[in-house]
Structure 1
Amino acid sequence: MPAVIDICVPHWGDTAYLREAIASVVAQTDPRWHLTVIDDATPGDAARDLVASFADDRITYVKKSQNEGITANFRSCVAAATAPLVTVMGNDDLLLPDYVAAIVRTAEVIPGADIIQPGVRVIDAAGAPASTLVDTVKQRLLRPRAAGPVLLSGDRLGTGLMHGDWLYWPSLTFRTETIRGFEFRDEFAVIQDLALLMDMFFAGTTLLVIPDEVFAYRRHDESASSVLLLDGSRFAGEREYFALAATLADEHGWRRTRRAAKLHLTSRAHALSLAPGALVRGNFAAVGRMLRHAFGP
């Protein structure tokens, strides 16, 4: 049975979470998938041996000869896809059993959707349900709430994302031919997912939001994004991107998106919410970065 969706996992580091991620793909109720693990030159053979232990010919393991970084590995994942649909899944995340079934069914019923965002369950390091301020804002205040699928595009979509990025990149499924028409921006490594998505939306790409909760997104302190948040360094990159997004929105006549990008209120509030913790840790440099982002231009 030919694969309808390529699931690509950019990997580097320990294999504990990777084992769970692969197992969640193998457990899919719909077998029309192919999984590719692209190892960014992790020392040793643990990842290769782990993939081999599943003894499933629907799983491919590729190891790079040298470490190229996460952006390059994202590119490699997109390039590796041969099926009509592609998902670039985190090596610490999980597909719930009906992920492939829900995505493939939706893509068949609504073929005009370029990107599909399913419902997401947030889990902690141990796999238990988790609740964070960030995810509460994403899912209860920013994400469109509807009983059925919602197709979004244009200034309305851009405005919402500039108010706050409510998408979960690892859970998204793309039309392979659509995402291949765009490039990741190397200069925005911290916020590269939003930068790519906004480039796609400015070009007329559509996003379909479906209510099916079929993906588990893991929040844990060891993730790269969490480390950058704790020292406040990611906010400088966010500030630079919002300035670019405002310019691009102006060029496209998306006035509400331009205004939202200039304000980036949720991003400012996020920085402000982290400042007390940085102060308690005695990281005064981080406090300065957070306050500069919260109250600066």
Structure 2
Amino acid sequence: MTRVQTLDIMLPHYGDTALMQAAVQSVLDQTDKDWRLTVVDDGREPGVPEWFASLGDERVRYLRNEKNLGITRNFRKCVELVESTHFTMLGSDDLLLPTYVETLRAAIEAVPDAAIYQPGVEVIDEHGDPSTSLGDEVKRRLYAPKHNGRRLVLSGEPLAANLLGGNWLYFPSICWRADAVKAINFREDLSVIQDLALIIELIQRGEKLVVEPAPVFRYRRHSGSLSSAEALTGARFGEAVRFFNEVADDLDRHGWPKAARSARRHLSMRLHALTLLPGALRHRQSDATRRLLRYALTRSE
């Protein structure tokens, strides 16, 4: 069995410095030391370059963009900087558990021809405490496949239809096969749903997704944003509508009618819009309320 090359951990950063430092420390604490961390800083927070210089670890590379690229372009830059066969796009407020690299390396060695590896995830709040949200419970109970502690290998139209009905993946926790992602990269015209767009295209190209049930990642949800700030982004659902309609047409041409129907219904996204309505109403955000209602109740094509 061929050993997996050094795992590239890419960290596109913009935001809270303390949370980013905790994310970096979680990489430094890995039981498997064969990793390389590249931080691409899209911000201007003071003291950050100096903090990285103080680490004195040759496995850590820090780059600061000359100008702000925005989320998707910074993602694309991270992909271009990947040097190994596999990589993870770690969120700068998320955490790796100590056995992340060890566990993902084992999954890759067991199923080397997959392109997407989804490990087990624990959800935490802004304080690092365990957190449960309606969205996460729906993901776990209704959409995520039942693995009973066993590694799963998924592919094809059933997987595409499943994810377009309800995306149960946690993007920052995923490990990717670099050549597959570099051939596509993230779409520059998407800023919210670019991860799902990439995954669906990979599946259409015949790539496999591995579910590795061991919980080795902590995904952070910020509870304060659920009632107010996120409701302000009602406009973001316009991007989702455009994507789902486009991908539905593409899947029809691809000969995957079940997946196309799932895209046109995009039921979980509609339900998500409904869950944001109370926050929009409570904060008297009339424009967001109208957008959310229109998105949630518009008839499928």
Pair 1:105 & 2:69 matched: no
2:152: which partner in 1?
Answer: 150
SS across alignment from 1:187: coil
Is this contact kept in 1: 2:119–2:212, CA < 8 A? yes
Match of 1:22 in 2: 24
Runs of at least 5 residues in structure 2 that lack an aligned partner in the other structure: none
The answer to whether the 8 Å contact 1:231/1:278 transfers is no
Residue of structure 2 equivalent to 1:268: 270
8 Å contact kept, 1:4–1:104: no
Q: Which residue of 1 aligns with 2:34?
A: 32
The one-character-per-residue Cα deviations of 1:102-156 (angstroms, maximum 9, x if unpaired) are: 0001111211211100011001001100000111111222111212111111110
Aligned residue for 1:81?
82
Asked if 2 retains the 8 angstrom alpha-carbon contact of 1:221 and 1:227, the reply is no
Is 1:46 aligned with 2:37? no
Aligned to 1:251: 253
**Corresponding residue for residue 72 of structure 1:** 73
Query: How many angstroms does 1:222 deviate by?
Result: 6.9
Any conservation in 2 of the 1:278–1:286 contact (CA below 8 Å)? Answer: yes
Match of 2:171 in 1: 169
Deviation at 1:54, TM superposition (A): 2.2
Match of 1:234 in 2: 236
The two structures have a TM-score, normalised by structure 1, of 0.95
Quick one: distance in 2 between partners of 1:141 and 1:97?
29
Point out where structure 1 has 5 or more consecutive residues left out of the alignment. none
CA contact (8 A) 2:270 2:297 kept: yes
- CA drift at 1:82: 1.0
Partner AA of 2:178 in structure 1: T
Q: 1:72-128: per-residue Cα shift (whole Å, max 9, x none)?
A: 111111111111110011000000010000000111121121110001100100110
Question: CA contact under 8 A between 2:231 and 2:277: conserved in structure 1?
Answer: no
Q: What is the CA distance between 1:276 and its match in structure 2?
A: 2.1
**Whole-angstrom CA distance in 2 between matches of 1:59 and 1:32:** 12
Check 1:268–1:126 CA distance in 2 against 1; reply closer, same or farther (3 A cut).
Answer: same
Q: Distance in 2 between matches of 1:229 and 1:31?
A: 41
Residues of 2 paired with 1:164 and 1:275: CA distance?
Answer: 19
Residue aligned with 2:91, SS: coil
Please state if 1:96 is matched with 2:97. yes
The structure 1 residue matched to 2:218, chosen from 216, 221, 231, is 216
Q: How big is the shift at 1:223?
A: 7.0
The CA distance in 2 between the partners of 1:219 and 1:63, in whole Å, is 26
Give the partner amino acid of 2:170: Y
CA distance in structure 2 between the aligned counterparts of 1:162 and 1:229, rounded to whole angstroms: 22
Distance 1:92 1:257 in 2: 33
Residue type matched to 1:188 in 2? L
> Are 2:230 and 2:276, in contact at CA under 8 Å, matched by a contact in 1?
no
Say which is worse superposed, 240-249 or 138-147, in terms of deviation.
Answer: 138-147
Report the CA distance between 1:45 and its aligned residue: 4.0
- Residue 142 of structure 2 aligns to a residue whose secondary structure is helix
Q: Greater CA deviation, 29-38 or 7-16?
A: 7-16
Equivalent residue letter for 1:248: D
Report if aligned partners of 1:231, 1:283 keep a CA contact under 8 Å in 2: no
Q: Does 1:7 align with 2:13?
A: no
TM-score, normalising length: structure 2:
0.93
Q: Which of 190, 195, 198 does residue 196 from structure 1 map onto?
A: 198
Query: 2:60 — aligned with what?
Result: 59
Distance 1:217 1:182 in 2: 25
